[in-house]
C-alpha cells in the first residue's frame, strides 16, 4: 500500500486512510444529493485554490445538472491572529442571484468557511451553502458555517493526497494518506493543509 510513497529520508509518509475508490464512491453519492437539491437552479460551485481543486473537478463531473465553476484564493495574514485570512484572488463570476455552493477540501475550525460565507453573502446570492470532502466538527471555533454536505468525518490527523499537499508535495496522490510528524517532519505553509496548526491558515 505504501510502495513508492517515501519521503526524502526513505521513510513512508503514512498509511492510506481513504482509497481512491472509496473517495470516488462518496463523491458520486454527493453528486446525486446535490443534483436533487439544485435541480433547475444551476448552482455556481466556488472553490478556494489549491487543495480543493481535485475534489471540485471530481464533484463537477459527478453533478449531472447544469452548473458553473469558479475559483478564489486565500492566504493567512502575516503575523495575524490564528485563522485570519485575506482574499488574494477574487471570483471572475458575479454571484448576484446565483445559488452558490462553496466546495472545500477540509472544514476544521470553520474560520475559513465562515470568512468565505460572510464575504459572498454580501454580494446578494440567491442562496449560499457549502460541501466539504473532509470534516472535523469537534474542532469548530465558530458555529456559523453553512455546511450542508459532508463527504467524510475524519480524525484530527494530517492528510496528504487527493489534492491536499504538504509543502506543495503529494497533491497528486490518488489516495488520501495519514501523515505523522515523526514520519515526515515538515513545515506547513500557505495553502498546505489549511488548519490552525502552527504555520498554516485555519480551515
Please tell me the total count of domains within the chain.
1
Which grid cell is 155? 480524525
Whether 80 is covered by a domain: the verdict is yes
Q: What is the pLDDT of residues 170-187, one digit of tens each?
A: 899 999 999 975 545 443
pLDDT at 71: 97
The CATH code of the domain that includes 57 is 3.40.50.2020
* Catalytic pick among 58, 105, 108, 191: 108
What is the C-alpha separation between 157 and 95, in angstroms, rounded?
34
Residue with cell 447544469: 66
Residue with cell 465562515: 114
Whether 104 is covered by a domain: the verdict is yes
Q: C-alpha distances in angstroms, 168 versus 8, 20, 44, 160, 164?
A: 14, 20, 27, 10, 8
Whether 39 is covered by a domain: the verdict is yes
DSSP reduced 3-state for 111: helix
Whether 6 is covered by a domain: the verdict is no
Q: What is the DSSP string of 117-145?
A: HHHHHTT--SEEEEEEEEE-GGG-S-S--
Whether 201 is covered by a domain: the verdict is no
Q: What is the pLDDT of residues 85-97, one digit of tens each?
A: 889 999 999 999 9
Q: C-alpha distances in angstroms, 123 versus 34, 43, 95, 115?
A: 22, 15, 6, 13
Task: Please state the three-class secondary structure of 2-63 as a single string.
Answer: CCCCECCCCCECCCEEECHHHHHHHHHHHHHHHHHHHCCCCCEEEEEECCCHHHHHHHHHHC
187 — phi, psi (to 5°)?
-95, 125
Q: How confident is the model at residue 122 (pLDDT cuts 50, 70, 90)?
A: very high
Whether 35 is covered by a domain: the verdict is yes
Range of the domain at 32: 20-155
Whether 67 is covered by a domain: the verdict is yes
Q: How confident is the model at residue 121 (pLDDT cuts 50, 70, 90)?
A: very high
Whether 169 is covered by a domain: the verdict is no
92 is catalytic: no
Amino acid at each position: 500500500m505504501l510502495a513508492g510513497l517515501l519521503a526524502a529520508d526513505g521513510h513512508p509518509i503514512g498509511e492510506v486512510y481513504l482509497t481512491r475508490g472509496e473517495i470516488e464512491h462518496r463523491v458520486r453519492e454527493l453528486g446525486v444529493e446535490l443534483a436533487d437539491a439544485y435541480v433547475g437552479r444551476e448552482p455556481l460551485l466556488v472553490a478556494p485554490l489549491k487543495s480543493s481543486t481535485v475534489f471540485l473537478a471530481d464533484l463537477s463531473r459527478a453533478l449531472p445538472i447544469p452548473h458553473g465553476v469558479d475559483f478564489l484564493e486565500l492566504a493567512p495574514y502575516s503575523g495575524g491572529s490564528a485563522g485570519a485570512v485575506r482574499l488574494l484572488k477574487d471570483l471572475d463570476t458575479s454571484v448576484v442571484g446565483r445559488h452558490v455552493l462553496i466546495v472545500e477540501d477540509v472544514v476544521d475550525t470553520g474560520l475559513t468557511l465562515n470568512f468565505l460565507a460572510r464575504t459572498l453573502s454580501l454580494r446578494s446570492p440567491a442562496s449560499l451553502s457549502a460541501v466539504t470532502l473532509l470534516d472535523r466538527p469537534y474542532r469548530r471555533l465558530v458555529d456559523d458555517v453553512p455546511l450542508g454536505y459532508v463527504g467524510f468525518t475524519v480524525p484530527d490527523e494530517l492528510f496528504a493526497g487527493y489534492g491536499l499537499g504538504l509543502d506543495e508535495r503529494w497533491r497528486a496522490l490518488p489516495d488520501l494518506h495519514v501523515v505523522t510528524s515523526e514520519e515526515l517532519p515538515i513545515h506547513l505553509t500557505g495553502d498546505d493543509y489549511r488548519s490552525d496548526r502552527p504555520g498554516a491558515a485555519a480551515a
